[in-house]
Chains A and B, each alone.
Chain A
Amino acid sequence: MSGAHPLLSVQGLTKSYGARRGCADVSFDLWPGEVMGIVGESGSGKSTLLSCMAGNLTPDAGAVVFDTRTSGPRDVLAMPEPERRMLARTDWAFVHQNPRDGLRMGVSAGGNVGERLMGVGARHYGQIRAQATDWLGRVEIAAERIDDRPAQFSGGMQQRLQIARNLVTGPRLVFMDEPTGGLDVSVQARLLDLMRGLVRQMGLSAVIVTHDLAVVRLLADRLMVMKDGLVVEEGLTDQVLDDPQHAYTQLLVSSVLQV
């Protein structure tokens, strides 16, 4: 499963908003096939960190080293913009909390999936449509909905469509920002099952930001706990949840309501 290099190596990532700390000095390695969860309350810096890693925000300091297919580990932050965009369209994927941020709402479901394929050079209409249909099936959206627009879909379907759009190019690394946030628990379970299956089948590595400890327990191998922009604890997911060391993690774990 694991090669010689981590797939992603984040080093000293720091971002401030004026005097306010977004995230400070965050470092970790993510190995191929690993899923890492980042938890923390709203404002703890987890989304800032995710945006800095994914290139949606420019950090003040640090490095994001990705093991590229062609030339090995390279600092993404130092890459020329076109190259970074290509990476974002091919090997990387970003699943937003709100599907509207990750989908094109005016374009059909099939178009949303096909667009990403065209972005990496696919031109044959029949093949693009066939691949889009296949992916809609994998995320459990009926083929006859291929020409409908996402606005006509439920929230859970939109989220599944966003996942299909992101994974169709066979990325190696997926960033997810609260992927199950705002969904009914029954829909969440379905999405969890889907993500778990896709991660395993495709051998994906993923970084999942969430405030839902049940989600990370089921999906993440490793866990990082953030508070006020700092990583206060990290380790194996079940160790962090079952034997939390930091006061904040203990509070977080003991605050979960039992059903």
Chain B
Amino acid sequence: MITVRDVAKRFTLHNQGGAVLEVMDGAALEVGAGECVGLVGASGAGKSTLMRMIWGNYRIDAGSIRVAGVELAGAAPRDVIALRRGTLGHVSQFLRVVPRVPTLEVVAEPLRVLGMDATEAETRAGAILSRLNIPERLWPLSPTTFSGGEQQRVNIARGFVHPWPVLLLDEPTASLDAGNRAVVLSLIEEARNRGAAILGIFHDEGARTQVCTRLVDVSGFAVAA
């Protein structure tokens, strides 16, 4: 479902003397349906860079990344938007939302975009919020005022509210207590068991052992400084 071949990435810092940072070269990996692959490697080795290229917010300078058959290198914005709408899900580390929008709507939004009616979408959003222990009295409030752990769980709820066939997870268990961590890990296992292709960064070693079917060390893709 995810195929990365010979991918290179560099950053050109035009406003810092035109410095060119070659950060990645020859990156390759494959994630099939029903797999959960964990990216490992020291801080700065390029785990997040690789994830961002697959999500589409970093440009791919060379090589090819295909997600569910769609080539992302040089893809038109509308193709990436369509891919994200129904196929490629993402749990980032930060929640970015329009202020004032109630939590329930934030979580239901991906379903609404897919054309589901409001009642059904909000019922599903409520179910996943309950599972992640976000009390119902918080649902009508904007998550911008929530604690870090609560925001993270809202983010996770949004990332699991639709059964995306491909999922990218960036530190999904960071800043969660033991109980909520267990809920998130079981959500990941369920997604994997229904056949989702999952790629994630987990600094939490226990989590990695529990959910990952395989690890890929990105250190080999890094360009030596």
- Residues of A bordering B, CB below 8 Å: 1-2, 31, 34, 189-190, 192-193, 196, 200, 217-218, 221-222, 235-236, 238-239, 242-243, 245-247, 250-251, 254
Are B98 and A196 touching (Cβ within 8 A)? Answer: yes
| Per-residue interface assignment for chain B, residues 80 to 103, with 1 indicating a CB less than 8 Å from any chain A CB and 0 otherwise | 111000000000000011111100
A147 to B101, CA, bound (A): 30
**Which among B15, B98, B112, B113 has the highest number of chain A CB atoms within 10 Å?**
B98
User: Does B13 interact with chain A (Cβ within 8 Å)?
Assistant: yes
Cα A189 to Cα B52 with chains together (Å): 28
> Can you list 16 contacts pairing A with B, beta carbon distance less than 8 Å?
A193-B100, A193-B101, A196-B98, A196-B101, A200-B112, A218-B98, A221-B81, A222-B78, A235-B59, A236-B56, A236-B57, A242-B58, A243-B58, A246-B14, A247-B15, A250-B13
Indicate which residue in B11, B14, B58, B112 contacts A239 across the interface (CB closer than 8 Å): B58
**Are the C-beta atoms of A193 and B98 separated by less than 8 Å?**
yes
Chain A positions within 8 Å of B11 at CB level = 243
- The verdict on A247 contacting B77 (CB below 8 Å), with A192-B98, A242-B58 known, is no
- The A interface, classified by DSSP as helix, strand, loop or mixed, is helix
Which chain A residues border B81 with CB–CB below 8 Å? 34, 221, 236
Known: A189-B99, A189-B100. A238 touches B14 (CB 8 A): no
- Are A34 and B78 within 8 A (Cβ)? yes
Min Cβ gap B157→A in Å is 19
A176: shortest Cβ distance to chain B, in Å?
Answer: 16
Q: A34-B81, A251-B15 are in contact. List 14 more A-B contacts (CB 8 A).
A: A189-B100, A193-B99, A196-B101, A200-B113, A217-B96, A236-B57, A236-B80, A238-B56, A239-B56, A242-B58, A243-B59, A245-B12, A247-B14, A251-B14
